[in-house]
Structure 1
Amino acid sequence: MAEENEGTRAGRAVARWLASTGRVTFAPGLTAAELTAAEERWGFTFADDHRGFLSEGLAVDGEGTDRPRWPDWRHGDPADLRRRLEQPVDGVLFDVRHGFWTSAWGERPPSAGAAEATARRALASGAAKLVPVYGHRYLPAGRGTSGHPVLSVHQTDVIVYGGALSDWAAAEFGPAADDAVGGVRAGAGGAGAHGSGAVPDGRAGAGQGSGSGAGPDGAAGVGADRSGAGQGSGAGAGQGSGAGAGRGSGTAGGRRSRPGDVPPPVTAAFWRDLTG
């Protein structure tokens, strides 16, 4: 079992919630040895919530899937994993070859080759390593960190798809994910960890106070923080910092966020600024 802390417990809760929706198939979670082997092979460390998510269960594509979405850190094709890991940087370099540049890298070199080499060095030293979660969704790497926003990355088009792993899960797979209106993923009562909504960490109920819920953190019937219709910290009808109908820093459904909307810890200035 992976070393437990607040971040890994949060990631485990997200995996349990996703399993409870019936929308995601899970294989047994990665062992500590398997997680370490993947990190050593690919040269990064998982953020704590990502590590907890993978140790609780390894999400896998359903039978007959012609376009794999979930990275298979246990038996996956090495070429596929390498492509996923390299895709964020390769996408930026593609755009550099077609005119993209940022003043943070200094003056653009006159030749295309020199410009690409400069960009590659800058990305290697100044941009967080992004680790695939699902499709084009990525989390920054880094053991000892958690709570990063989930980024949807396609070349230099970067969107905050959830203020944290839990927000992303609700946006991507929540009960109302198929009929979202205006980028809002509304929650259904009874599934939140700390309240009455459907977001995995209880952010879907938008009120304050203690409520009941059958949450993925194992606290069935003991919602600690969110229920009702007042103000709250996440998705739902109130104000908050997560995805949903209120005002917040995350997004539910791919709405672009301003750089200042990204909650701490900041992923890295480069990726953050691309969300502007």
Structure 2
Amino acid sequence: MDYIELIDRLKAAGARFTHGLSPNEFDQIEHRYGFQFPPDYKEFLSIAMPISDKFINWRDNSEHNIAQIHSRMNWCLEGLLLDVEQNKFWYYEWGSKPSNVEEAKAKCEAEYHKAPKLIPIYAHRYIPETPAEAGNPILSVYQTDIIYYGENLYAYLMVEFGLKSYDEIDYDSIKPIRFWSDIMDMWEADYQI
């Protein structure tokens, strides 16, 4: 996929960019936050790094920004815990839900850390770290209300910046992601959406 052309289109749509991340910067970021960028996200960020509002500024090493990134990474867990506590959410593969709320939340947190990590991109949009290959879908995460927001990174950026309609997403081509796709399927089945 031609990210250079896409970046030009995103700029025309109002997105702002700075120069891409260096190999050394990638190493530092992945070490600091404990994940590895999927190859397509890494390719995109090596060409140019978005700095518009709501995008993650991976280059900013200030304490405030590092705390914000950690907060965005914890957002998914916090949402799951809230839904376990207040909205009766429970993932079937975890077995029986403990009657004690604190035990249920502890089980949720332990299992969450076994799920594919979600790397923040923009607002509450995330790309799964695994599988460690190009083409992972982009997820919009708000507690356990999770939806696909693009078949892959390229398509997602088109949708986010109005270069492609959300209604044009090809759901049949989306790669399922362990745990996260299951939650979407559970939610859809429970609410008949």
Give your verdict on TM over 0.5. Answer: yes
1:146 Cα deviation from its structure 2 partner: 1.2
1:18 Cα deviation from its structure 2 partner: 4.2
Following TM superposition, where does structure 1 have runs of at least 4 consecutive aligned residues deviating by more than 3 angstroms? 10-15, 17-20
Q: CA RMSD in A?
A: 2.1
The alignment status of 1:71 with 2:56, answered yes or no, reads yes
* Identity among equivalent pairs (%): 31
Instruction: Give the structure with higher Rg (CA).
Output: 1
Show the 5 A alignment for 1:1-276. Answer: 10=1, 12-13=3-4, 16-61=7-52, 68-75=53-60, 77-98=65-86, 99-125=88-114, 127-142=115-130, 144-175=132-163, 183-184=166-167, 235=168, 243=169, 248-249=170-171, 261=172, 263-264=174-175, 266-268=176-178, 270-276=179-185
TM-score, normalising length: structure 1: 0.61
Aligned length: 181
Rounded to whole Å, the distance in 1 between the matches of 2:82 and 2:150 is 26
Give per-residue Cα distances to partners, 1:13-62, cap 9 Å, x unaligned. Answer: 4753444534210011111110110000000000001111111111012x
Describe the shift of the 1:144–1:109 C-alpha distance in structure 2 as closer, same or farther (beyond 3 A). closer
TM-score, normalising length: structure 2: 0.85
Matched-pair contact (CA < 8 Å) for 1:140–1:267: yes
Consecutive unaligned residues of structure 2, counting only runs of 5 or more, are 186-193
Consecutive unaligned residues of structure 1, counting only runs of 5 or more, are 1-9, 62-67, 185-234, 236-242, 250-260
SS at the partner of 2:113? Answer: helix
SS at the partner of 1:128? Answer: coil
Rounded to whole Å, the distance in 1 between the matches of 2:111 and 2:70 is 20
SS at the partner of 2:102? Answer: helix
Matched-pair contact (CA < 8 Å) for 1:11–1:165: no
Rounded to whole Å, the distance in 2 between the matches of 1:153 and 1:45 is 20
